[in-house]
Amino acid sequence: MKRTRQLKRWALILLGSSSVLLVPWMVVLALTLPTKTEVHNWSLAWIGLDVLMAAGCAATAVLGLRGDARARLTASATASVAILDAWFDITTSAVGMELVEALGSAVAEAGLAAACVFLALSKGRQSEPVPR
């Protein structure tokens, strides 16, 4: 038990240190990245993100309906993917109708993320599957 607490503490120290070290890296990126670029495999990148989100939704639903506590993990990951998808939809959209569509999608993705966060924060392990 003591070893686990020590490992957890070191993992948390590593995460905290990483957050501090990422600040200068973000400054470097802000100063050096181009404002425009040509992207190869654009559609594959977007489809892959949506496949990941769909797989997360499916895994969370299946695990949750079976009463498996691991649904909390998949829900957490799926919430993150939904927020990332919304972020990239908005930040890569052109001004105008494309941005309006991205904002509409972001509202739906925020709802999905909220549902996933609710599930991820649910207390305890269910002893039996969710009734139908």
Structure tokens at 20: 């501090």
Rg over CA atoms, the chain: 19
Give residue 125's pLDDT. Answer: 54
Give residue 129's pLDDT. Answer: 65
Give residue 132's pLDDT. Answer: 65
Q: Which residues of 63-95 are buried (b: 16+ CB within 10 A; e: fewer)?
A: bbeeebeebbebbbbbbbbbbebbeebeeebee
Q: Split the chain (132 residues) into runs of 10 and give each run's mean pLDDT.
A: 91 96 96 90 92 98 95 97 96 94 96 97 66 65
Give residue 1's pLDDT. Answer: 81
For residue 17, give Cα distances in angstroms to 3, 7, 8, 29, 94: 21, 15, 14, 19, 36
With 0.75 as the threshold, say if the pTM is over it. Answer: yes
Give residue 26's pLDDT. Answer: 96
Half-sphere exposure of 22 (CA within 13 A, CB side): 6
